[in-house]
Amino acid sequence: MILNCAIIDEDPTALEQLKKYVDETPTLNLIGAYPSAIDAVDGIRHCHLDILFLAIHMQQISGLEFAKVVPKNVKIIFTTAFKEYAIEAYKVHAFDYLLKPISYPDFMDSCKKVFDSYMQDDKYNPIKRDKFLIVKSDYKYVRIPFDKILFVESLKDYILFHLEGMENVSTLGNLKHLEERLPKEKFRRIHRSYLANMTKFNVIERGKLIYGSLGIPISDTFSDVVKTYIDEHSV
């Protein structure tokens, strides 16, 4: 997923530094870098924007004031040399707050938060939106609908999808990455080696989730996750 971003900063050095950071980040597409909020209005109005890197101290209109007219779906990351504006920034729905001088690791951490946030939105995450995923297994690509997944098992460098009414499928990967891509309301980690579809089990007993004749263990580390799920669905 590529996110469209824009930068507004009256400081030429800061503006160029952020442009350089964006250029070095393959998941970002720069639609404009502006020396003032006034200059940015037309460019932002006519483009789809996901992230706005916005300075706070500016002459014509402050970043805090300009943030009030930015569309609500845009994630605003304030860039400033002053810590004391953090509370004011979050009052105008800032997504994040970067202190100058901004390092590239800090910049990337902030972008990752935005990316992760969008990936939780069904409109941006095609896997969640379409309710299936595609995995490479041997020399073919296999389409796996969510409602066919019973659970996923970690096997060293591979993950194995245990499927209902389909042959099981293995692919290179790890559970942590898969867990981030799947909807949390349906799939929960219940063990270091197992990711469970919580809408498919039949019984929970003796520390296991039971799917027909198959049972997978619930580890002590994740027992609270299962207990919470039970409490949420109990009558």
User: Running DSSP on this structure, what letter comes out for residue 58?
Assistant: -
Nearest to 206, CA basis, from 196, 215, 195? 215
Contacts of 117 (CB under 8 A, 6+ apart): 75, 95
CA distance 232 to 110: 32
> What is this structure's pTM?
0.61
Beta bridge partners of 96: 77
Place of tokens 């009414």: 165
Omega cis (within 30) before 101? yes
User: Which of the following CATH numbers is that of domain 3-119: 3.40.50.2300, 3.40.50.1220, 2.60.40.1120, 3.40.50.300?
Assistant: 3.40.50.2300
Q: Would you write out the chain's pLDDT as a tens digit for each of its 235 residues?
A: 789 999 999 999 999 999 999 999 999 999 999 998 888 887 777 778 899 999 988 888 888 888 888 888 899 999 988 777 676 777 778 899 898 999 999 999 999 999 888 877 767 777 888 899 999 998 899 999 999 999 999 998 999 999 999 999 999 999 988 998 888 889 999 999 999 999 999 999 999 999 999 999 999 999 999 999 999 999 8
Q: What CATH code is assigned to 130-233?
A: 2.40.50.1020
Q: Fold match between 3-119 and 130-233?
A: no
Domain boundaries of the chain, sorted by first residue = 3-119, 130-233
User: Running DSSP on this structure, what letter comes out for residue 156?
Assistant: T
